[in-house]
């Protein structure tokens, strides 16, 4: 019997590469969303530190309070920018997730088809080997029976071996 060969192997390999790329893209997008979240947390931490720092100063002048007010405005602006960026990234992440899930579905479909075809091939191969073994056993048994019959004790040597008469 021939070796197993899946006719759609190249397509399966291509789908596997497509899935790998989709997973890589999804991981990159996930890291991007996490980075935006980290930037928001750092921005909030900087704002809290500035508030605490200015409030701890004993001689607070108007210029310091004006700077703090400007910094607060800057933080709000940056926070709004990061929120917009986060929404954009989460939208791309959702699209990347659906692309990855679709690529996974297409890959698994072909992979299951390959597994089913391999199993069918394996069963056919096993059946063929079993039939070959049975035929070999029967042929050997027939040779053994013939040899026993020809070499049976009590018969003269001329009777044991058949001669061909022309």
**Distance set, CA 85 to CA 41, 43, 88, 92 (Å):** 14, 14, 5, 11
> What is the rounded average pLDDT of the residues 121-128?
95
pLDDT of residue 81: 95
How much of the chain, in percent, has pLDDT values that exceed 90? 70
pLDDT of residue 165: 60
96-118 pLDDT, tens digit each? 999 999 999 999 999 999 999 99
> What is the rounded average pLDDT of the residues 91-96?
96
Total-model pTM:
0.69
Entry field: residues in the chain:
166
6-64 pLDDT, tens digit each? 999 999 999 999 999 999 999 999 999 999 999 999 999 999 998 888 888 878 788 88
């Amino acid at each position: 019997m021939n070796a197993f060969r899946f006719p759609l192997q190249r397509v399966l390999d291509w789908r596997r590469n497509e899935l790998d790329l989709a997973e890589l893209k999804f991981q990159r997008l996930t890291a991007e969303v996490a980075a935006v979240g980290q930037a928001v947390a750092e921005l909030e931490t900087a704002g809290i530190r500035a508030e605490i720092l200015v409030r701890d100063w004993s001689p607070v002048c108007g210029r310091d309070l004006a700077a703090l007010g400007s910094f607060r405005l800057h933080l709000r602006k940056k926070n709004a920018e990061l929120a917009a960026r986060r929404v954009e990234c989460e939208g791309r992440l959702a699209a990347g997730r659906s692309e990855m899930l679709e690529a996974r579905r297409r890959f698994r479909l072909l992979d299951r088809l390959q597994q089913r075809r391999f199993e069918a091939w394996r069963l056919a191969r096993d059946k063929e080997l079993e039939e070959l073994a049975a035929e070999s056993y029967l042929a050997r048994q027939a040779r053994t029976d013939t040899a026993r019959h020809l070499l049976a004790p009590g018969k003269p040597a001329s009777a044991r071996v058949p001669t061909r008469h022309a």
